[in-house]
């Protein structure tokens, strides 16, 4: 049952949004291409006024490597409806992606992802907001697990298609201060049949502090 739900949820995750298009979203997955006539969903992976200077600086650095540098910016919406073509959920139903469920910019998960297919890496620039507090002034460990899972998961999805997380191991080395900027750097290390093994490190914006090291095992669906 769960497996079938996962299949449905993750079916056809290849999504491309034409940046010029104001009123259409083009989704394609094997054999089917559809154009939804709807208002262009907001891509939350663009800078907003709450991004600090380190977040902005890193964003510009990765963006500069998107033109011929092997990286591409990954769009980020606040519902899976916009992420998944042919979503089985009723589009009118109000669901929110966990990492995009707060209305006010800067309060929760502020992040932006970049993908490098040749290196099998997904990098997430992450600025945890005040509503992600765990220890006073620092980010909750569950939120850290979430951004690791989301980053490594997105990397696995972009490389392999639909996956579900089967195992997530994290060593928390140094706390992450709320409002700081960190780099979540994941890599697909190997693929064995349906198993996709990834590693993920979180480092400070200037690379001087290792915050976490982790491994995440994803299982491919639809094979
Ligand atoms: C969600 C939104 C997505 C949007 C995508 C948009 C595009 C990208 C944008 C944004 C990215 C966001 C990305 C978000 C990422 C979030 C991901 C989650 O939070 S997922 C929720 C938490 N995870 C579960 O709830 C799984 C629950 N578990 C299951 O459903 C099943 O156990 C499942 C599917 C993992 C495997 O079940 P089976 O029945 O299909 O397969 P079996 O036969 O059990 O396992 C297959 C192989 O894997 C090994 N395996 C399975 N689990 C293992 C484990 N824990 N450790 C080691 N090996 C394991 C087995 O031993 C087997 O290996 P042998 O083929 O025999 O060699």
Which tens digits make up the pLDDT trace of 135-192? 999 999 999 999 999 999 999 999 999 999 999 999 999 999 999 999 999 999 999 9
Reported pTM = 0.86
In angstroms, what is the span from residue 50 Cα to ligand 1's centroid? Answer: 34
Catalytic residue numbers, as ranges: 149
What residues contact residue 89 under an 8 Å CB cut-off, 6+ apart?
A: 80, 81, 95
Counting from 1 in the atom list of ligand 1, the atom nearest the Cα of 221 is 40
Which tens digits make up the pLDDT trace of 41-94? 899 999 999 999 999 999 999 999 998 889 999 999 998 777 776 666 666 667
**Ligand 1 pocket check for 165: Cβ under 6 Å:** yes
Task: Dump strand ranges (E) for 52-178.
Answer: 72-74, 109-116, 121-128, 163-172
In angstroms, what is the span from residue 20 Cα to ligand 1's centroid? Answer: 35
How many other CB atoms sit within 10 Å of the CB of residue 191? 16
**Ligand 1 pocket check for 149: Cβ under 6 Å:** yes
Counting from 1 in the atom list of ligand 1, the atom nearest the Cα of 74 is 9
Counting from 1 in the atom list of ligand 1, the atom nearest the Cα of 192 is 67
**Ligand 1 pocket check for 3: Cβ under 6 Å:** yes
**Ligand 1 pocket check for 139: Cβ under 6 Å:** no
Which tens digits make up the pLDDT trace of 85-99? 666 666 666 788 999
How many other CB atoms sit within 10 Å of the CB of residue 116? 19
**Ligand 1 pocket check for 13: Cβ under 6 Å:** yes
Q: Exposed, middle or buried by CB within 10 Å (0-12, 13-18, 19+), for 82?
A: buried
């Amino acid at each position: 049952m769960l497996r079938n739900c996962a299949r449905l949820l993750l079916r056809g995750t290849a999504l491309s949004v034409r940046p010029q298009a104001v009123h259409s979203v083009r989704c394609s997955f094997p054999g089917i291409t559809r154009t939804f006539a709807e208002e262009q969903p907001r891509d939350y992976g663009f800078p907003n006024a709450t991004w600090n200077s380190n977040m902005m600086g890193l964003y510009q650095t990765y963006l500069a490597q998107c033109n011929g540098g092997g990286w591409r910016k990954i769009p980020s919406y606040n519902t899976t409806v916009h992420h998944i073509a042919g979503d089985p959920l009723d589009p009118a139903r109000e669901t929110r992606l966990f990492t995009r469920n707060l209305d006010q910019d800067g309060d929760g998960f502020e992040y932006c992802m970049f993908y490098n297919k040749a290196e099998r890496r997904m990098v997430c620039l992450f600025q945890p907001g005040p509503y992600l507090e765990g220890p006073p002034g620092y980010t909750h460990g569950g939120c850290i697990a979430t951004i690791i899972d989301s980053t490594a998961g997105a990397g696995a999805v972009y490389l392999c298609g639909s996956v579900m997380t089967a195992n997530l191991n994290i060593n928390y080395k140094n706390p992450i201060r709320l409002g700081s900027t960190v780099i979540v750097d994941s890599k697909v290390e190997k693929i064995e049949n349906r198993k996709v093994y990834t590693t993920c490190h979180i480092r400070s914006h200037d690379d001087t502090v290792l915050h976490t090291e982790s491994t995440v095992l994803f299982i491919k669906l639809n094979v």
